[in-house]
Amino acid sequence: MAVVVGVDASEAGRRAVRFATRLRDVGDGRVVVAHVVPWSPFTVQSAEENERRSLTKAHEVEMAHRLVDPLVEQLRGEGVRAEAVVRHGHPAETLCALAREAGATHLVVGRTGESRVRSLLFGSTASNLIQIAEVPVTVVP
Amino acid sequence: MDPYALPALASAPAPSGLDAFIDDNFAGIADRIESVVFYEVSLGDVTFPVVVAWLLLAAVVFTLSFRFVNLRGFKHAIDLVRGKYTRPDEVGEVSHFQALATAVSGTVGLGNIAGVAVAITLGGPGATLWMIVAGLLAMSTKFTECTLGVKYRRVNPDGTVSGGPMFYLSRGLAERRMAGLGKVLAAVFAVFCILGSLGGGNAFQANQAFAQMRAVTGGEDGLLGGGAAGVLFGLLLAAVVGVVIIGGMWRIASVTDKLVPFMAVLYVTACVVVLLANASALPEAARLIVEGAFDTEAVAGGVVGVLIVGVQRAAFSNEAGLGSAPIAHSAVKTDRPVTEGYVALLEPFIDTVVICTMTALTIVVTGAYTQQGEEGVQLTSTAFETVLPWFDNVLALAVVLFAFSTQLAWSYYGAKATAYLSGESRVADTVYKVVFLAFVVIGAAASLGPIIAFSDSMIFAMSIPNLIGVYLLMGVVRRELREHEEGLRTGEVARVDA
């Protein structure tokens, strides 16, 4: 029984991690720090983008690890059983899948304050998550 | 009249000035090349070019050899594209959908709009039926060549992926102890691919884009009516293409590729609107198409003549057997090459069986083809205008966009062939791209007769080395197909959503 926390580069992501460590008492103490690289199999790309895709993906994964690894290191330093996960996919759906895989009791995300227009067009990860999550979701402001 | 000899596709006015100069110097060479590639044989009283029979034969052989994989693999192909078999480690890489979309963006183009009009002008409504049959059979050809494209692709030292006939001809045949032959075929293919990319993939596109732009801006007396307008239009188009392929502004390419599927859907929707407006004429159009296909008295030289017109235009549109698609498909992430073969078979279906057929029905149902003096894009445009008077502007936009995306796709194919021949030389790459841009201008400036002769010749010539290799490697595809089907049966290849 873990807590899955979804982070991005924003400050709210850090606050979400802090909050998740407080929640861990209700579970087995594990905190999964996850970053999802937004990706869809149904976009259209040029041939050049395709031929370089493996490289681009590797780069995206590396950048994501630079984001989550320090957070995990810090938690471990504090004695928290933390692990880092980087995935590609639809952010909210992928976080839900991760929660399922980890047997998580909670999902925590930061509120990044996407603009109204953007939220209206694409929805925000937090609101998507609330609609589809199978476990309680906490959105940290 | 020869059933396959192609007169001017668009009613491009007689060139003058600078246009005429380019035209005069280009026509002779084009004629000579055409007579070699479209070498004709006579069977009874029908004369036909060997290369068209060569493509049709391959499509029939692959369809029979892989037991109608084009039809029975259809549902599996859709499931693969929908990601039903995408494993977690393949997430984030090039999906089946993306590989297909890239390839389709390169194929859907003027062949679907202008080429179909040419087929009906030359062969009558009956050419439509043979075009559909050829499209259905071509699905097997794409299945076979794209399976090989993935099977023998190469992951370069820098992590990028290269694939296509150059690689399956050289590597695949080397595996079968025909390394020498493989090298020769790969080199010959690469040369034809470079020349084809300059012609059909480029000059032809520029030419038709200009013809349509001139038509909507008032024809000969309009904005683009002057003697040097072709050159100017060509220079402008070349500048945009150049910014992308030399300047590396791939964002433009990316935007274009996203617009092409949108335009394709818009185009098909417009066809449906025209067909609905003429719903009562549909049964008659269907009758004309079926009867025309078997009309022994047809002007185009009887049944065989009509058939050849249909097959040739289908091939020009869907590119099956030419070896271009395997280059685009090979970046997909899969460890089973045959899965991309399945996905690739959807390409001629979308291109020919759906889009070309929609164009053909629109032209036949509106009776536009019975009017004299209209050819190519203009004929298609006339058909639309009977119901949607403003549509020629949208069509002009679609033509320019399709032309542009096809040019980008072919510049990629040509650059890959250049890289193969030159051992990835950067100098050769730049030289090729500069020549490519020059052909954008030539295409827009010269009249269509010599341009189409040259482009058809080079594009179709690619099928000679490509299909020889594909025949020799059919056993590999058969083994891959058998293993995959076995995997599906035993559950080793399982749906991820099951």
The DSSP letter of residue A137 is E
Residues linked to residue A83 through DSSP beta bridges, in sequence order: A32
pLDDT at A120: 58
User: Three-class SS of residue A81?
Assistant: strand
Interior CA angle at B134 toward B133 and B139, to 5°?
100
CA distance A79 to chain B (A): 31
Q: Which residue among A37, A42, A53 sits closest to B97, beta carbon to beta carbon?
A: A42
Residue range B354-363: average pLDDT? Answer: 95
pLDDT at B204: 84
CA distance A50 to chain B (A): 6
Calculate the CA dihedral of residues B101, B103, B105, B108 and round it to 10 degrees: -120
* pTM, 2 dp: 0.89
pLDDT of B410 higher than 80: yes
Quick check: B98 and A41 CB within 8 A?
A: yes
pLDDT of A118 higher than 70: no
Angle at which helix B229-245 crosses helix B204-216, to 10 degrees, equals 130
A62 contacts A11 by C-beta, under 8 angstroms: no
User: Three-class SS of residue A88?
Assistant: strand
pLDDT of B24 higher than 80: no
Q: Which residue among A49, A53, A60 sits closest to B250, beta carbon to beta carbon?
A: A49
Quick check: A51 and B253 CB within 8 A?
A: no
- Residue B244's H or E segment, with its range, is helix B229-245
Residue B87 sits at the chain A interface (C-beta within 8 Å): no
CA distance A61 to chain B (A): 10
Residue range B48-71: average pLDDT? Answer: 92
Say which residues have a Cβ less than 8 Å from residue B56's Cβ, sequence separation at least 6. B134, B137, B311
Give the nearest chain A residue to B415 (CA atoms): A48
pLDDT of B222 higher than 90: no
pLDDT at B43: 64
Give the nearest chain B residue to A61 (CA atoms): B92
pLDDT at B88: 86
Residue range A30-53: average pLDDT? Answer: 90
Query: From its phi and psi, is residue B302 left (phi > 0), alpha (psi between -120 and 50) or beta?
Result: left
Quick check: B94 and A43 CB within 8 A?
A: no
CA distance A58 to chain B (A): 9
Calculate the CA dihedral of residues B297, B299, B305, B307 and round it to 10 degrees: -80
Residue range A111-123: average pLDDT? Answer: 62
Question: With bands split at pLDDT 50, 70 and 90, how would you rate the model's confidence at B295?
Answer: confident
- Residue with the bigger pLDDT between B122 and B373: it is B122
CA distance A30 to chain B (A): 23
User: Three-class SS of residue A36?
Assistant: strand
Q: Rounded distance, CA B11 to CA B378, Å?
A: 7
Q: Which residue among A39, A46, A54 sits closest to B159, beta carbon to beta carbon?
A: A54
Say which residues have a Cβ less than 8 Å from residue A83's Cβ, sequence separation at least 6. A30, A31, A32, A33, A72
Question: Which residues of chain A lie closer than 8 angstroms to B161, CB-CB?
Answer: 50-51, 54
Residue from B197, B193, B216 nearest B205 by CA: B197
Give the nearest chain A residue to B329 (CA atoms): A47
Residue from B122, B46, B115, B40 nearest B296 by CA: B46
pLDDT of B6 higher than 50: no
Question: Which residues of chain A lie closer than 8 angstroms to B331, CB-CB?
Answer: 47, 50-51, 53
Residue range B132-159: average pLDDT? Answer: 95
pLDDT at B451: 65
A83 contacts B364 by C-beta, under 8 angstroms: no
pLDDT at B13: 46
CA distance B82 to chain A (A): 8
Residue range B6-28: average pLDDT? Answer: 57
User: What average pLDDT does the structure give for chain B?
Assistant: 87
pLDDT at B399: 87
Residue range B267-273: average pLDDT? Answer: 94
Query: Residue B319: what are its φ and ψ, rounded to 5°?
Result: 65, 15
Q: Rounded distance, CA B290 to CA B276, Å?
A: 20
- Residue B161's H or E segment, with its range, is strand B161-162
Question: Which residues of chain A lie closer than 8 angstroms to B261, CB-CB?
Answer: 44
Quick check: A53 and B331 CB within 8 A?
A: yes
| Chain A residues touching chain B at CB-CB below 8 Å | 37, 39, 41-55, 57-58, 60-61, 87-89
pLDDT at A112: 73
Look up residue B453 and give its two tokens. Answer: 């002769």
Say which residues have a Cβ less than 8 Å from residue B213's Cβ, sequence separation at least 6. B224, B233, B396, B399, B400
pLDDT of B12 higher than 80: no
Question: Which residues of chain B lie closer than 8 angstroms to A89, CB-CB?
Answer: 91-92
Question: With bands split at pLDDT 50, 70 and 90, how would you rate the model's confidence at B269?
Answer: very high
Q: A-contacting residues of B 299-358, CB under 8 Å?
A: 327-328, 331-333
- Residue B240's H or E segment, with its range, is helix B229-245
Helices then strands, each counted (H, E), chain B: 26, 4
Residue ranges and CATH numbers for the domains of chain B are 51-489 (1.20.1740.10)
Residue range B237-259: average pLDDT? Answer: 82
- Residue A33's H or E segment, with its range, is strand A30-38
Say which residues have a Cβ less than 8 Å from residue B96's Cβ, sequence separation at least 6. A41, B80, B81, B83, B86, B332, B334, B339, B340, B343
Interval B436-486: pLDDT, tens: 999 999 888 876 667 667 777 888 899 999 999 999 999 999 999 999 999
Residue from B199, B237, B230 nearest B452 by CA: B199
Q: Which residue among B161, B258, B333 sits closest to A44, beta carbon to beta carbon?
A: B258
Q: Rounded distance, CA A59 to CA B285, Å?
A: 55
Q: How many CB pairs under 8 A join A and B?
A: 86
Stated length of chain A: 141
Residue range A111-115: average pLDDT? Answer: 67
Question: With bands split at pLDDT 50, 70 and 90, how would you rate the model's confidence at B75?
Answer: very high
Residue B395 sits at the chain A interface (C-beta within 8 Å): no
Residue from B327, B324, B326, B303 nearest B315 by CA: B324
Would you state the CATH architecture of domain A2-139?
Answer: 3-Layer(aba) Sandwich (3.40)
Supply the DSSP string of B283-318, one letter for each residue: HHHHHHHHHHHT-TT-TTTHHHHHHHHHHHHHHHHH
Stated length of chain B: 498
Q: What is the ipTM of this complex?
A: 0.88
User: Three-class SS of residue B358?
Assistant: helix
Quick check: B96 and A41 CB within 8 A?
A: yes
pLDDT at B7: 38
Residue from B394, B402, B320 nearest B353 by CA: B320
| Alpha carbon A108 to chain centroid, angstroms | 9
CA distances to B39, B46, B104, B167 from B330, rounded to whole Å, are: 32, 39, 14, 11
A127 contacts A116 by C-beta, under 8 angstroms: no
Calculate the CA dihedral of residues A11, A12, A18, A21 and round it to 10 degrees: -140
pLDDT at B10: 42
Interval B308-319: pLDDT, tens: 889 988 988 899
Interval B78-99: pLDDT, tens: 999 999 999 888 898 999 999 9
Interval A62-106: pLDDT, tens: 999 999 999 999 999 988 899 999 999 999 999 999 999 999 989
